[in-house]
Amino acid sequence: MNSPFTFGKVVSGKTFINREKELSKLKLNFQSGINTMLISPRRWGKSSLVKKATEESKSENSNLRVCFIDIFKINSELEFYEILLKEILKNSALKWEDWIKTGKNFLKNIVPDFIIGIDPQNDFSIKLRWSDIEKAPDEILNLPEKIALKKNVQFVICIDEFQKIAKFKESLNFQQKLRSVWQYQNRTSYCLFGSKRHIITDLFQNQSMPFYRFGDMMFLQKISKEHWIKHIVNAFAETGKKISNESAINIIEKVQNHPYYVQQLAHQVWINTSKTVNKSIIETSTDELLLYNGIMYANEVEKLSLLQINYLRAIIDKEEKISSKQSVKKYNLGTPGNVPTIKKALENKEIIDFFEKEPSFIDPLFQYWFAKNYK
Can you give the chain as a three-state secondary structure string? CCCCCCCCCCCCHHHCCCCHHHHHHHHHHHHHCCCEEEECCCCCCHHHHHHHHHHHHHHHCCCEEEEEEECCCCCCHHHHHHHHHHHHHHCCCCCHHHHHHHHHHHCCCCCCEEEECCCCCCCEEEECCHHHHHHCCHHHHCHHHHHHHHHCCEEEEEEECHHHHHHCCCHHHHHHHHHHHHCCCCCEEEEEEECCHHHHHHHHHCCCCCCCCCCEEEECCCCCHHHHHHHHHHHHHHCCCECCHHHHHHHHHHCCCCHHHHHHHHHHHHHHCCCECCHHHHHHHHHHHHHHHHHHHHHHHHCCCHHHHHHHHHHHCCCCCCCCHHHHHHCCCCCCCHHHHHHHHHHHCCCEEEECCEEEECCHHHHHHHHHHHC
Contact 101, 151 (CB under 8 A): no
AA identity, residue 51: K
pLDDT given for residue 356 in this prediction: 63
pLDDT given for residue 273 in this prediction: 97
Question: b/e map of 95-129 (b: 16 or more CB within 10 Å)?
Answer: ebeebbebbeebbeebebebeeeeeeeeebebebe
Q: Find the farthest-apart pair of alpha carbons in the chain and give their distance in angstroms, rounded.
A: 70
The list of the chain residues with pLDDT below 70 reads: 1, 9-15, 18, 355-356
pLDDT given for residue 13 in this prediction: 62
pLDDT given for residue 12 in this prediction: 59
pLDDT given for residue 11 in this prediction: 65
Q: Which residues contact 150 (CB under 8 A, 6 or more apart)?
A: none
pLDDT given for residue 72 in this prediction: 87
pLDDT given for residue 301 in this prediction: 96
pLDDT given for residue 353 in this prediction: 87
- Say how far apart CA 142 and CA 154 lie, in whole Å: 13
Neighbours of 371 (CB within 10 A): 15
Contact 222, 258 (CB under 8 A): yes
Phi/psi for 70 (5° steps) reads: -110, 115
Task: Please report the domains of the chain, with CATH numbers, ordered by start residue.
Answer: 19-219 (3.40.50.300), 225-300 (1.10.8), 303-374 (1.10.10)
pLDDT given for residue 14 in this prediction: 63
pLDDT given for residue 359 in this prediction: 85
- Say how far apart CA 213 and CA 206 lie, in whole Å: 9
In the chain, % of residues over pLDDT 90: 73
The rounded Cα 136 to chain-centroid distance in angstroms is 31
AA identity, residue 239: T
Q: Round the CA-based radius of gyration of the chain to a whole number and report it.
A: 24
CA-closest candidate to residue 74, choices 196, 163, 181: 163
pLDDT given for residue 196 in this prediction: 76
